[in-house]
Chain A
């Protein structure tokens, strides 16, 4: 099993659809993240879960709803999206999201390319 796996790799949805993105990590990490990657823009941190508890929500619209049932799985539920939400959504994990001494290396999945029509 590779480190961080995301499904689906590509998703096309209408503005009224409801869909979900899934992320699974096989690294035994305790923190998981959702990032939004848009062309020519910095990576945008959306949500952070540390030991299954949400510790960061960077003013993300409520049409994005995260779920973290355990330390290995992370979901992003999507509903009533807008065309400007089209982007690459990256999931990442790290050993501990709040470490003070460690390197804090992030391990990323390959991303889910979302297109909203």
Chain B
């Protein structure tokens, strides 16, 4: 079945760039998403990308999509302490529009 995989942890120094990676299996997905979950909170949509795009930039966030390798990445420039959170990658099944989720990557910021 469909599967979304991502590393469980990423540790970066404050001010550095963070790159969170994700691989997915459903090549027909129209949308791919990054959701952010801050401590004690629910998930919130951070950004998304259409499957016909290679890159999307939004202020400090850059999403890269490699459809051939089914690889999605989220780059956060100038990582701040407020970026500490769990970042979930998800793809949307075009058959029933439900999301398939990764396990989340916990971003740890070192001073």
Mutual binders A and B: yes
A contact set with B: CB distance below 8 Å: 4, 40-43, 45, 48, 56, 90, 92, 97-100, 103-106, 108-111
Determine whether the beta carbon of B48 is less than 8 Å from that of A90: no
Q: Which residues of B contact A98 (CB under 8 A)?
A: 96-97
Q: Which residues of B contact A99 (CB under 8 A)?
A: 97
Most buried by A among B43, B48, B92, B102: B43
Once bound together, how far apart are the Cα atoms of A110 and B92, in whole Å?
22
* Chain A residues within 8 Å of B43, by CB: 43, 90, 92, 106, 108
Q: Which residue of A lies closest to B90 (CB)?
A: A43
Interface residue from B41, B98, B103 paired with A48 (Cβ < 8 Å): B98
Name the contact of B42 in the complex, choosing from A42, A103, A104, A109 (C-beta under 8 A).
A109
Give the interface size bracket for B toward A.
20 to 34
Q: Is the interface of A mostly helix, strand, loop or mixed?
A: loop
B: which residues have CB within 8 A of A? 4, 8, 31, 35, 40-45, 48, 88, 92, 96-104
Taking a contact as CB atoms under 8 Å apart, the answer to whether A104 and B101 are in contact is no
A43-B99, A98-B97, A103-B48 are known; give 4 further A-B pairs, CB within 8 A.
A42-B102, A45-B98, A90-B42, A105-B45
Per the bound structure, the CA–CA distance linking A32 and B43 in Å amounts to: 15
CB pair B99–A45 under 8 Å, yes or no, is: yes
Q: In the complex, A92 Cα to B88 Cα: how many Å?
A: 15
Q: A48-B98, A103-B48, A104-B92 are in contact. Are A41 and B103 (CB under 8 A)?
A: yes
